[in-house]
Structure 1
């Protein structure tokens, strides 16, 4: 059994190279996988399942081909595409999963899966924004707006987020170690996989019960640096790997 985990592709119409790399990833690199987890921010923005254009449809069709060949496809909301809905999941042949979610490796080893933004608890401004955008009532109101207005709102949010982040320290924008340990203790896990921070690494640390915790951080995909990231689960072994986006179709 091979399971793959990816996050933070931030696909959008303006980045055709990245889109092509993802389509190649599904067709070539992920071909041997039994399951694929996309753990947030597949899209740079998603303004509703009723606003699917040619670009979005191309991604949906590729996901559908992948899942229709008998593989499991799971998708988690990120901080950019939190309005992905059941219609999208149905069209893509995917299952939307909660954040956080727990999966089991082997017979009995639980692994915690998160997008990662809820762990950035030192960024008070962002945590308030997150609470607002994940509120079902806010989402309902937003989805009731005309598509054009939603698109403008998404553009304003992206601009606001970009300028706000420019003035924040790296430490504030990273996950809080306390938040990491707290949720791992609550969920009774020793392994966590997440994205969001764009700081790929594997961290080992001590948990309060004297166990060793392991945190796998997925990197974002960057066409400019020709690099994509995944966590690969083969049997019961997890590894963080990077690969060349431009060479995906050659394998």
Structure 2
């Protein structure tokens, strides 16, 4: 059996090529797995579990079909879908995990997270993150009519895109000291995360010994899947279909 990890799909009605690759993955590959972990940013932006648009319903149905087939599905919120909550998980059969969780991955204790909390040099983002994760603020936001929330999110997205253009790439990557702290605080020597869109396997020296950090890839130009089993871990790509690529 295998365990699969994905992150940073940024699913959107504007990118049917990504959606088609994802739905193919959910139909043909994920049912053969023991478990599927989604480590955040499944959607380009999630404005609330009451968003029942046909597009979002199709994604929910894909997860519901998978969990009903017996595959365990777990979700960690990302910086784009931190409002995805209990209702979504109840409707799909997924299990919502805390922002940092430790799992037993075929005998290796492994810490999993989205990865944005590792980027401590991006102080402006971290301040924004602390604000939007306040429960009282999220409760107020969820009471706002859906069409107004969409306008608010559009404005926020535009500001984020503008800020990214002037940020140095180094501050949007992980802070090495923070990575080591997460390893040591959780007493593990393996970590899996997304967020940075820089798929790779890194080695770190910690007080617990040599530790491995696996970074998941995004789904902008191809699908990205981490396949884990008793033989080891493999970062793999899934190609978009030619017809979908031509439509872009």
In the superposition, the TM-score normalised over structure 2's length comes to: 0.94
CA distance in 1, matches of 2:51, 2:67: 22
Residue number in structure 1 paired with 2:60: 60
- C-alpha distance in structure 2 between counterparts of 1:23 and 1:104, whole Å: 27
**Aligned residue in 2 for 1:239:** 234
Q: Deviations over 1:138-183 (max 9, x none)?
A: 1111111111111111111111111111111111000101110001
Matches within 5 A, 1:170-189: 170-189=169-188
CA distance in 2, matches of 1:205, 1:70: 36
Instruction: For residue 236 of structure 1, report the CA deviation from its aligned partner.
Output: 5.7
Please identify runs of 4+ aligned residues in structure 1 that moved more than 4 A: none
| Aligned position for 1:116 | 115
Tell me, in whole angstroms, the C-alpha distance in 1 between the residues paired with 2:121 and 2:193: 17
1:221-232 to 2 correspondences below 5 Å: 221-222=219-220, 225=221, 227-232=222-227
2:246 alignment counterpart: none
1: CA distance, partners of 2:231 / 2:138: 38
Q: 1:157 to 1:119 in 2, by over 3 A?
A: same
Q: Which whole-Å CA distance do the structure 2 matches of 1:52 and 1:132 have between them? A: 26
Deviations 1:61-80 (A, max 9, x none): 11111111010011110000
Check conservation: 1:199, 1:219, Cα contact below 8 A: yes
Aligned counterparts of 1:25 and 1:121: Cα–Cα separation in 2: 33
Q: Distance in 1 between matches of 2:80 and 2:170?
A: 21
Match of 1:18 in 2: 18
Residue equivalent to 1:82:
82
Aligned residues: 242
Aligned equivalent of 2:106: 106
1:212 is matched with which residue? 210
1:47-91 CA-partner distances (Å, limit 9, x unpaired): 111121111001001111111101001111000011011111111
Q: CA deviation at 1:241?
A: 1.6
Aligned to 1:163: 162
Return 5+ residue gaps in structure 2 as ranges: 243-248
Q: Deviations over 1:161-213 (max 9, x none)?
A: 1111111111100010111000110000111000000000000121134x111
- C-alpha deviations, 1:208-244, integer Å up to 9, x for none? 34x111110001002xx3x111111112622222221
Deviates more, 1:189-198 or 1:145-154: 145-154
C-alpha distance in 1, partners of 2:176/2:53?
Answer: 40
On the 8 A contact 2:180/2:204 being kept in 1, the answer is no
| Contact residue 31 and residue 69 of structure 2 kept, 8 A | no
